[in-house]
Amino acid sequence: MQAKKMEDRISSLPDEILCYILSFLPTKKAVATSILSKRWKPLWRSVTTLDFDEANFRRTKGWHSRFVQSVHRVIHTPDFLQPIQKLRMSFVSRHSEVPSNVNVWVNAAVQRGGFEHVDICIYSLSPLNLSSIFSCKTLVVLKLEGLDLNTTVSSVDLPFLKVLHLQVLQLSQRRCLAQLLNGCPVLEDLKAKAIYFKKYKETGFEYKTLSKLVRADISGTSTDLFRMEVINNVDFLRIHEIYIRIPHDDQFTDMFHNLTHIELGYYDYNTNWIEVVEFLNYCPKLQVLVINQTPRFDYFQLNKAYLEDWQDPSYVPKCIQLHLKECYLNDYRGTDAEFQFAKYIMQNGIFLKKMTICSSSEMQQHGKPENIQKLSSCTRCSATCELSFK
């Protein structure tokens, strides 16, 4: 009886609220609500979000065919009452018909108008043609993962796109990435991870500076192909395991003039601490510095001579002296270079409030390194600096 009353309360809500609730469900489940009652039967057709995930079909026999048929049926429903504002697709398939199906689905969704958000994660062996998305003038968010776009990035016009996330993408050539970014004049949030090209040696194309960009997350994408000038307006920057290429020219001294938060990531504990200090010269307003060191091999098998290479720089970057407030060293192993870098920051950070040392799992197993105790006794330029170990 109580369940019946609860059902009646929900059913009595306005259509707008019920459709809003359904928009958070996978489309398969949203459609399934049509069997609840006559009140619910037409509601899913007014939902402006479509979410297709093959994971919701895998437990059934012939799940791939059922998945394809389900998407076809929903996308081509003739009496859809609202434009599709958000489209999400996620699946992994080796089936040859996948590219043509996806092209049809995306084109059908775009043609309904009002397209604002696209999130496509498809790991397929065949290239996709998403040209209709790259010229969708209403698009605000675009997230692509696992796609082969060898033949599609030719003309890009995304005047309102603010969020662009690209992960594990195959592009035919470097100019495709330039064309894609140059077609997003108001971009604010960029993620570029593991982007690959069939052709690397190209000339005759340019990247435009993304003047509205405030956040960038880049990894596995060489900055020889992705120049730092493109993202020099950001206030948040995450870079992982790529070579930081910056022109050695006086005009680029304060390249990252808005940057207040940076996270630098390294694999296999190959952090070059001198290069870190040199890079900070280009970040005059930096307030938060995070160093992430991710092990892929046993630390104790690495060349310690390289890891312990350090000489105190003859200069102190402006940001360390005037703005740096927080510094985090993650996966700290206790090498001399790490110790000297932490000591250098504390001795020169006039406004430093937090120096946080997070020991690596290896160090936790073998006991905390001796120089962690030495850090506690190091001179701190800032009287309010709090040194903590985790």
List pLDDT tens digits, range 83-128: 888 999 888 766 656 667 888 888 888 888 778 999 999 887 677 8
Structural fold of domain 83-242: 3.80.10
Mean pLDDT value across the chain: 81
Q: Can you spell out the DSSP letters for 46-77?
A: G--EEEEEGGGTTTSTTHHHHHHHHHHHHHT-
Q: How far apart are CA 103 and CA 109, in angstroms?
A: 10
Three-state DSSP class for residue 155:
coil
Element (H, E) at 163: strand 163-173
Q: What pLDDT does residue 139 have?
A: 94
- What is the Cα Rg of the chain in Å? 26
DSSP 285-333: T--EEEEEEE-SS-GGGS-HHHHT-----SS--HHHHHT--EEEEEEE-
pLDDT higher than 80, residue 10: no
Reported as a pLDDT band with limits 50, 70 and 90, residue 224 is low
The set of residues, in sequence order, having a beta carbon less than 8 Å from that of 276 and lying 6+ positions away, is 264, 291, 341
Which residue from 240, 236, 281, 280 is spatially nearest to 261, judged by alpha carbons? 236
Question: The pTM is what?
Answer: 0.85
Residue at token pair 């993962």? 145
In order of 283, 337, 349, the CA distances from 323 in angstroms are: 10, 23, 8
Identify the pLDDT of residue 204: 67
Calpha distance 129→91 (Å, rounded): 17
Q: Which of 101, 189, 183, 198 is nearest to 148 (CA)?
A: 198
β-bridge mates for residue 170, sequence order: 148, 196
* Domain limits, CATH 3.80.10, in the chain: 83-242
The string of pLDDT tens digits covering residues 234-251 is 999 998 876 555 555 555
DSSP letter, residue 233: T
The SS3 of residue 2 is helix
User: Residue 136, SS3?
Assistant: coil
For residue 176, pLDDT over 90 is answered with no
Nearest to 385 by CA among 331, 342, 341, 333: 342
pLDDT (0 to 100) of residue 228: 76
Higher pLDDT, 173 or 298: 173
Fill in the DSSP letter of residue 12: T
Cβ atoms of 381 and 349 within 8 Å: the answer is yes
Question: What is the rounded CA–CA span in Å between residue 164 and residue 353?
Answer: 34
pLDDT tens-digit series, residues 302-326: 545 445 567 778 889 999 999 999 9
* Confidence check: pLDDT of 165 > 70: yes
Residues 120-154 pLDDT 10s: 998 876 778 888 889 889 999 999 998 888 766 77
Averaged over 216-238, what is the pLDDT? 80
